Structure formats: C-alpha cells, structure tokens
C-alpha cells in the first residue's frame, strides 16, 4: 500500500488501540496481537493480478499492454472498484486505490470490499476498434477472478459506460448460463445500468460540501457557535456569504460538480474557474457552466482554449495555464483531476480554505499536514467521491432483481446514504482535534476491525 494511505490506517489503529470501548474483550497481550494482525491485513492486498494483453492494432502490428486487477480486501463483500485507462497506471497506484475502495465502502456501509483495475494506455491514442479489443482482452485475461459475486469492476479515469457495456458483453459470452448484469456497473441504461450513475460521483462531491456548509451548520449552530475548533471557525467564516469556487478537472466528475454548484439554491455560489488538461478559464464574476458543458460535449471534452472560441460562446474569461486553477484566490477548490496535484512543493501557493477531493488522492500526505495546520477544511476523497460506488451498489441490486429505479429515486437514496455517513462523521470532526480524513479512516477501520474480529480473522 502506498505510504499515505498506509500511514493513516496505522494512525487509526493507534488511536483505536487506546479506546477501551472498542473491542473491549481484547485486553493486554491479546489486544496487541490482534492489532498487529489488523495492521498486516489492512496494509496488504489479498491478491495481485497482472497480465500483458496481446492486442492487434488497426495497422496489423501486435502490442502487449500491461493490465492489472488488484483485490485488496473482501471482508465486507465482493471486491468492487473501477478500471482506469491511463498511461500513468502502475501496480503501486492501483494497489493504493484498491485499499482506498476497501475503506470507502466500509465508511459508507456499502456491502463490498475493495478492488481496482488499470490498463497502461492513453485512450486518445487508440481507435474505437482497438479500445474494444482491449476491453474484450481485459475480461478474457481476468475472467477467472471477476464476476457478480466475486469482483465487480466499474468505470474510472479513461473509461465509461461504453467500455463497461463492451466488458459485460464479453463476460456474458464467456460465461454462458450464468448471471451477468451484475458483473460490471456503470453500464448504459439500456444494458442494465442505473439511471443517475454517470452523474453520481459529481453530485456526491458537491453534496458533501453543501451539506457541511449549509445543512449541518444550520442544524448544529448552537453548540458550534461556542467552539474554538479551527475547523469550526473556517466553516462558520464561509457560511451565509457568497462563495467563489474553482474546479480542477472538467470531466465527468468536475463538470457535474460545477453544474451542481452553479444551480445550487442552498448556498450563494459562483464558479469562478474551471480547468482541463490544457487550460484554466477564470472570471471572478463567475462562468456560465451550462454553456461550457455544451461546448465540451461537442469538442471531445476539451474546454475552449482561444479568445475566438470564448467570443463565439459569449463567455468572458481569462485564459490561464492549466495548473493556475490551484492557486487562484477562491474560497473553495474542488479537485477533480489526477492524484498528487497539491504537494509539498506547491502547497504554499494554495489560497482556498476549503478543499474537496473529487479525484482520488489529489493531495499528498506532506501537503495535507501543511493545510491541516492552517485550519484548512479538506473534505477527503473517501468521503466526497463515494457517490459512484454507492450508485454502483444500487445498479448491482437492480441487476440482481431486474427491477429498475427512477432517476429521482436513485438520487434520493444516494443523498440519504451520504447524509447518514456525514451525520456520523461531522460531529466528531468539529468536536475533536482529528482532521476529517483521520475521522473517516478511524470510522472505516473500526468497522473493518470489528467484522474481522467477529469472523475470527485476527488470530
């Protein structure tokens, strides 16, 4: 497991070790032995699967592409996690993301374990036919370890409902007579996918921020008003006033989160900046997010990058470098791009006092410590971007029952589940000295540890 996640898991175990109300039947030497077992179990994956996919390209040449499926832990249910297509994919990254999925599912009480997959390609460099072949080969090479009750992949960076449709079709072909609708989630609706799945992660990212700054603060205003907790002061200082929001990444997660912020009637927001792999667009008076979404839909996901393109859209914005979105004078920064965007070498330039991790691990451990000491609120990935896996669970249920929910019902269930998690985490966060990330990890590790203990896995 990568050092950041592993270190926080160990911190959680250290905190729980001294909590006499947690696993009270374990005392003295037996307790020490059990906690060593927990550290070992949660710091390593159960299984690492690697293959080199043999792909024939359109020009007739044959290439071998590295691919992974990491199965971290299945204590709470079948392995669950996305498959990403990206040139940066490597075993350490995929293992870390699989561990994060284990903890995320435990935190939100989703009955899945943690898994993750990856293929080392840049999808833009391959034709649709080549990508179709890659998807088929991935299922063929890993067919023994995936399935509706074993390991259920989903989309991730570089993949979407098209790739999940292709993969489910191949799984159906090579496992005739077996249930297949639940083998992959994030599929198109016509292929058994759930309404609302594509938007779920982005909606959940914004919802966690909105719930904290609006619903929770208002319902708990009495005891929060007298608190000296620095996180409380940061939250109260941003309540009931106009908030400027910058969004890094304008893909599936960032664009939906931006639109939710743009439309929100609970908070007085303005989205002042968005970015993609090429540019940052900045206007301190706010951007028209619907117009930008329509443009990216017509232009392979890219934002307008020239003055001429902006003029045609009647959008006023300053065109900046893609990384400048991180350093703007905004109240809130939603990170919906790649890992390790805020690091030790650039954290001092970050001005936003509230950061929301829409991507996985966009803030390194070193940067996290600096920001936390400032009193910056960081809504971590394990909490903020769980909307996708929650609705994937709903999709899995619908596939098993072959009865499908309305989009409105899906969103209602999503927000109810995230609200339950937030209500279990936020009082402790605003009431003690732990960061929100540490509180989330403590809660998840506690759930996993309790189940492992009751299953007799610590001896």
Q: Which residues are catalytic?
A: 116
Strands 354-357 and 377-379, by their bridges, are parallel
Written as one string, the DSSP assignment of 64-96 is EEEEEEEEEE-SSSSEEEEEEE-TT--HHHHHH
Burial class (CB in 10 A: 0-12, 13-18, 19+), 37: middle
CA distance 364 to 180: 38
Q: At CA 186, angle to CA 293 and CA 269, rounded to 5?
A: 35
147 three-state secondary structure:
strand
Going across the sheet that includes 269-275, the strands are: 318-321, 279-282, 269-275, 243-248, 332-335, 354-357, 377-379
- Non-local CB neighbours of 219 within 8 Å, separated by 6+ positions: none
The residue among 300, 298, 261, 256 whose CA lies nearest residue 277 is 300
Angle subtended by helix axes 436-454 and 28-42, to nearest 10: 110
CA distance 43 to 139: 27
CA distance 156 to 218: 35
110 three-state secondary structure:
coil
CB atoms within 10 A of CB 225: 10
CB atoms within 10 A of CB 433: 9
Q: Which residues pair with 73 in a beta bridge?
A: 114
**Taking the CA of residue 337 as centre, how many other CA atoms within 13 Å lie in the half-sphere pointing to its CB?**
22
CA-to-CA separations, 11 to 3, 17, 326, 366, 439, in angstroms, rounded: 12, 10, 29, 15, 11
The residue among 223, 231, 182 whose CA lies nearest residue 77 is 182
CA distance 42 to 21: 21
Angle subtended by helix axes 128-142 and 161-174, to nearest 10: 50
CA distance 65 to 56: 11
């Amino acid at each position: 497991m990568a050092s950041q996640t592993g270190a926080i898991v160990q911190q959680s175990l250290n905190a729980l070790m001294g909590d006499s109300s947690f696993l009270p039947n374990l005392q003295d030497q037996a307790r020490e032995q059990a906690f060593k077992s927990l550290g070992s179990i949660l710091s390593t994956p159960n299984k690492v699967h690697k293959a080199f996919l043999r792909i024939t390209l359109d020009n007739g040449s044959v290439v071998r592409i590295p691919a992974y499926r990491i199965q971290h832990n299945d204590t709470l249910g079948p392995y669950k996690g996305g498959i990403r297509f990206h040139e940066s994919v490597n075993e350490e990254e995929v293992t870390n993301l699989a561990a994060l999925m284990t903890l995320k599912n435990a935190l939100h009480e989703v009955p899945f374990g943690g898994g993750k997959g990856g293929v080392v390609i840049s999808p833009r460099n391959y034709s649709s036919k080549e990508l179709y072949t890659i998807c088929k080969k991935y299922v063929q090479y890993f067919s023994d370890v995936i399935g509706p009750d074993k390991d259920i992949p989903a989309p991730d960076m570089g993949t979407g409902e098209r790739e999940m449709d292709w993969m489910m079709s191949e799984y159906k072909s090579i496992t005739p007579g077996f249930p297949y609708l639940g083998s992959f989630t994030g599929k198109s609706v016509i292929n058994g996918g759930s309404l609302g799945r594509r938007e779920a992660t982005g909606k959940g990212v914004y919802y966690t921020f909105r719930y904290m700054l609006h619903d929770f603060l208002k319902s708990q205003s009495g005891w929060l008003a007298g608190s000296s907790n620095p996180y409380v002061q940061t939250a109260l200082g941003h309540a009931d006033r106009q908030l400027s929001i910058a969004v890094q990444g304008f893909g599936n997660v960032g664009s939906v989160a931006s639109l939710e912020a743009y439309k929100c009637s609970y908070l007085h927001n303005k989205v002042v900046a968005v970015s993609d792999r090429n540019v940052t667009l900045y206007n301190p008076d706010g951007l028209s997010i619907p117009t930008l979404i329509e443009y990216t839909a017509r232009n392979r996901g890219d934002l307008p990058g020239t003055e001429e393109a902006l003029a045609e859209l009647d959008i006023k914005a300053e065109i900046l470098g893609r990384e400048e979105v991180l350093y703007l004078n905004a109240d809130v920064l939603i990170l919906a791009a790649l890992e390790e965007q805020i690091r030790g070498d650039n954290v001092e330039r970050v001005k936003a006092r509230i950061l929301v991790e829409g991507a996985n691990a966009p803030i390194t451990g070193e940067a996290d410590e600096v920001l936390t000491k400032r009193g910056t609120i960081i809504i971590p990935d394990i909490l903020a971007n769980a909307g996708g896996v929650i609705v994937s669970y709903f999709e899995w249920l619908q596939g098993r029952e072959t009865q499908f929910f309305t989009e409105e019902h899906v969103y209602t269930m999503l927000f109810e589940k995230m609200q339950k998690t937030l209500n279990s985490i936020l009082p402790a966060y605003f009431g003690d000295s732990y960061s929100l990330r540490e509180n989330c990890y403590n809660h998840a590790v506690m759930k996993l540890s309790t189940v492992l203990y009751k299953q007799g896995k610590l001896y």
